[in-house]
Structure 1
Amino acid sequence: KGAAVKLADFGLAIEVQGEQQAWYGFAGTPGYLSPEVLKKDPYGKPVDIWACGVILYILLVGYPPFWDEDQHRLYAQIKAGAYDYPSPEWDTVTPEAKNLINSMLTVNPAKRITAAEALKHPWICQRERVASTLHRQETVDCLKKFNARRKLKGAILTTMLATRNFSSKSTDRSPSPSPAQTAAATGAHAPDTHNPNQH
């Protein structure tokens, strides 16, 4: 209670200009991308509702609705809207909360709930009556574990990339071996390269 909530990482955000309704391009954090972005369709404001649905799911149980170490399988999950509410983490989450998430994670953007509609959803506007007030310590624990795994994966990928770049640069700087050096390394005789016309 009373903890500050900070919104960050707007590096890929697009400022809405006038009455523009559609954007194009492929950018974003993999687990938060909407199906229409992954399909490379024109997209609009519903992508933000999708991302908020992912965030709400994470806040309630501490792990994301879509997750796979393989990015292709992750994207397949997202495009199919393939997520569930596994036990026991979701057993104490109210039906209203799940209904809101379902409305936000609707694959068809035309049928996805809007921001105005979400603000009128019972789980939002009738929180005193329908939302659970239980302190979800298990959610905090799950979130810490997920973040630790995510950071570890990021560190491993960074190390692999740095190693690959170093190896590439080292190879580029290494002089090509002479025929004599190659022959010495393999035990073969180096070919005679003198000019026969000198005899």
Structure 2
Amino acid sequence: MAAPAGPKFADLYELKEELGRGAFSIVRRCIQLSTGLEFAAKIINTKRLSARDMQKLEREARICRLLKHPNIVRLHDSIQDEGFHYLVFDLVTGGELFEDIVAREFYSEADASDCIVKILDAVCFCHDHNIVHRDLKPENLLLASKSKGAAVKLADFGLAIEVQNDQPAWYGFAGTPGYLSPEVLRKEAYGKPVDIWACGVILYILLVGYPPFWDEDQTRLYSQIKSGAYDYPSPEWDTVTPEAKSLINCMLTVSPSRRITAAEALKHPWICQRERVASVMHRQETVECLKKFNARRKLKGAILTTMLATRNFSTGRTLQSGASGSIAKKPNGGMKEISENASNMTDDAPDPKISGGAS
């Protein structure tokens, strides 16, 4: 006897306006009919997905169902309905954390500490559940609302993976260039420490408004990252406390086995003794640099999306804003998937929990 069909999406939710769009998905505001509460529905056209893409979708849904934390965008519902898969998430309306910071009248090192605590809390929760995000970056750090003091929310688990405790393995090349860890760039086995490296990059930016590793040439950028070649130039770093630099050093440790964990980072003096050690001086120069950094990454993302759209149009493919599931050629002639954000690149290994081995 066949199992009874589950409820249809339209029986539970009413769709409203579009919020965003990807190659195979649309995000729309929706209202839960039984409560009147608002959510964001990610609607995936499963008829257009390959078997590999379906595995990734199932992995994303499986991971998101596990992650119920105040600093993580929560998945409330997952519904398969007539060729579409609906993922119903929190509706977050506050925009990006980094955009909020530059709009503030006052921003200090202590505020940066408060921000990274929220991020580390979310990452620690993920790691406790053996989930690695793999794409921590400013675009995925959102605010629940525009209210002052709104919760920071970690978003977009499209590249997230399930790991075996602290056992490293090769899960494929995935992430965003400036936030990739040395071990990923070396194509070595990796695990939870890749998220801590990205947190170190984010913290560096939170304190001075620009990244620790930067070069227009990607080969030189990757060389900097693999060797851990960053510094604390004057004058902007002169007013940052030694404790803040200490935490960055612990996060941006090249060897993953010696890199600080999320749980350890939350016990670092700059975090747990913030009132005593973190400076409360307004960091105007950081805000100004962060404005330029935000503008530069938005422009770069827009240019890359346009380039990908043009390339896909010329080869008969359709690519819409946000490039989830689309394909771009690698220099060696192979194919590389572009994630939901056009600046991400992933060449994932098959999911061992689904495929049972290499394909």
TM-score range, shorter chain: 0.7 to 0.9
1:21 counterpart = 2:130:
no
Do residues 37 (structure 1) and 156 (structure 2) align?
A: no
Question: What are the within-5 Å matches in structure 2 for residues 176-195 of structure 1?
Answer: none
The answer to whether the aligner puts 1:135 opposite 2:282 as a matched pair is yes
Secondary structure of the equivalent of 1:50?
A: helix
Q: What is the percent sequence identity of the aligned residues?
A: 88
Q: What residue number does 2:253 align with?
A: 106
The farther-off stretch of 86-95 and 137-146 is 137-146
Distance in 1 separating the partners of 2:152 and 2:186: 32
> Equivalent residue of 2:175, what SS?
coil
- The CA distance in 2 between the partners of 1:133 and 1:10, in whole Å, is 34
Would the aligned equivalents of 2:201 and 2:252 in 1 still touch at CA under 8 Å? yes
Residues 166, 192 of structure 2: 8 Å contact kept: no
Which residue number in structure 1 is paired with residue 236 of structure 2?
89
| 1:138-176, Cα deviation, whole Å (9 max, x unpaired) | 22221121111111122223333333444556xxxxxxx
Alpha-carbon distance in structure 1 between the residues aligned to 2:270 and 2:253: 17
TM-score scaled by length of structure 2: 0.44
Alignment-derived partner of residue 179 in structure 1: none
Report the Cα offset of residue 8 of structure 1.
Answer: 1.8
The count of residues paired between Structure 1 and Structure 2 equals: 168
State the 1:120 CA deviation.
1.8
Q: 1:69 aligns with which of 211, 216, 234?
A: 216
Taking the aligned partners of 1:103 and 1:87, their CA distance within structure 2 comes to 21
> Residues 166, 13 of structure 1: CA spacing in aligned structure 2 closer, same or farther, 3 A cutoff?
closer
Post-superposition Cα deviations, 1:26-78, rounded to whole Å, max 9, x if no partner, equal 10111111100110100121111111111111111111111111111111110
SS in 2 for 1:74: helix
- 1:123 equivalent to 2:270? Answer yes
Structure with the bigger percentage of strand: 2
Question: What's the Cα RMSD here?
Answer: 1.9
Q: Answer whether contact 2:185 2:222 (CA < 8 A) is retained.
A: yes
Structure 1: runs of 5+ lacking an equivalent: 170-199
Q: Kindly name which structure, 1 or 2, has the bigger radius of gyration based on alpha carbons.
A: 1
Q: Deviations over 1:99-121 (max 9, x none)?
A: 11001100011111122321221
CA 116–145 in structure 1, closer or farther in 2 if over 3 Å, else same:
same
Q: In 1, Cα distance between the equivalents of 2:235 and 2:155?
A: 31
The aligned amino acid for 1:157 is L
Rounded Cα–Cα distance in structure 1 between residues aligned with 2:209 and 2:295: 12
Q: Which amino acid aligns with 2:168?
A: A
Whose helix proportion is higher, 1 or 2? 1
How many Å separate the matches in 1 of 2:166 and 2:248? 27
Give the Cα–Cα distance (whole angstroms) in 2 for the partners of residues 67 and 160 of structure 1.
Answer: 22
Would the alpha carbon gap of residues 39 and 130 (structure 1) be closer, same or farther in structure 2, given more than 3 Å must change? same
Q: What is residue 175 of structure 1 aligned with on the other side?
A: none
CA change 1:167–1:94 in 2 (3 A) is same
User: Counterpart of 1:147 in structure 2: which amino acid?
Assistant: N
Distance 1:166 1:116, change over 3 A: closer
Query: Gaps spanning 5+ residues in structure 2: where?
Result: 1-147, 317-359
Which has the higher mean CA deviation after the structures are superposed, 25-34 or 115-124? 115-124
